[in-house]
Amino acid sequence: MTTTLNWRVSSSASALHAAAAIVRGVALADAGLASELAEPAVLLQEEIQLAQLPEERFWRNLLGVSAGTESNRELVKLALVKTVGRGATAETIEQRIAAAIAAVEAAFQRYLPKLEEELPLRIGPLREQWEARGPGFMRQMGLLTDEALLVEQAEVVVIHPALGGGGDAWLPGNQVRIEGVLANPHPHLPEVVRLGWLVSQVNFDLPAISENVNAERLPRLARLAMLPAALAAGNAVELCQDSPDLLAAALNDWRLAADATVLIQWWETYRDSRPPFAVALAALDQMLD
């Protein structure tokens, strides 16, 4: 099966992506942007905390819906529904969080006034690489793991490279966000490999794959479980090497907190015995405790 990618850009997702990095303590590549966003990002985080929302889950859903929602009130409402359900929060909470998001977006726009013109130009290089190597990469991912993980369609949201290279997968929306860098920040890890790694995660919420895993732990497990496979698939299509050293470098360069030795041990066991992938994923979950 061929995975079809639908490409778009989003200034709102770009702004919230940068704000999320700030509140998580991740340094932005541009110190000026970090300074401009620092106050509104912290204020947004404070509103989320005052509302007593599950922070990580809310941020994850907020970022996910931000690419397709123009009204900040509607954006907050959708993120809240996906996080805590309908009618679980007061209207004043929606208003306050929406106002805080507007402040983040305004600061972002002030610092990057030409962003809406520049973002579409950042799609081209990555899309060209994907069209050349992506289908082969995804076929290898299916062979190496479970073909059920090969999603039929996924949305790719290209965002401003606030971190100088980064991205994430949003499983409920079959969506990935990836920073539109114009050159590979890590020559040994091409961005098209990062994109394939992200796309390979979006079907992890299938019951047949994740039924034995806590839903809150699933995004992290998806990132880590597909990393060794992504390097092996990249090697098969001549995009990168497949080695323990590169896996350790990927964990560091892509800001993934995990023990490389544990991940290598898990992958070697899976590759040698090939149990059902759901069983292997549950085993990885236990190994990461």
pLDDT of residue 2: 83
Mean pLDDT of 197-202: 97
What CA–CA distance (Å, rounded) separates 162 from 129? 21
**pTM of this structure:** 0.95
| CA 47 and chain centroid, separation | 23
Token code pair at residue 127: 């899309």
The answer to whether residue 196 scores a pLDDT higher than 70 is yes
Q: What is the pLDDT of residues 111-157, one digit of tens each?
A: 999 999 999 999 999 999 999 999 999 999 999 999 999 999 999 99
Mean pLDDT of 55-64: 96
pLDDT band at 248 (very low <50, low <70, confident <90, very high): very high
Mean pLDDT of 264-281: 96
If you compute the radius of gyration of the chain from its CA atoms, what whole number of angstroms results? 19
* CB neighbourhood size of 179 (10 A): 23
**In the chain, what are the domain boundaries?**
10-119, 122-287
Beta bridge partners of 179: 159
DSSP result, 2-57: PPEEEEEE-HHHHHHHHHHHHHTTPPPS-HHHHHHHHHHHHHHHHHHHHTT--HHH
Mean pLDDT of 245-263: 95
Q: What is the pLDDT of residues 227-240, one digit of tens each?
A: 999 999 999 999 99
Q: What is the pLDDT of residues 152-192, one digit of tens each?
A: 999 999 999 999 999 999 999 999 999 999 999 999 999 99
Burial state string for 66-79 with b = 16 or more CB within 10 A and e = fewer than 16: bbbbeebbebbbbb
pLDDT band at 86 (very low <50, low <70, confident <90, very high): confident
The answer to whether residue 88 scores a pLDDT higher than 80 is no
Amino acid, single-letter form, for residue 30: D
Chain mean pLDDT for the chain: 95
Q: Which residue has the tokens 């610092």?
A: 111
pLDDT band at 69 (very low <50, low <70, confident <90, very high): confident
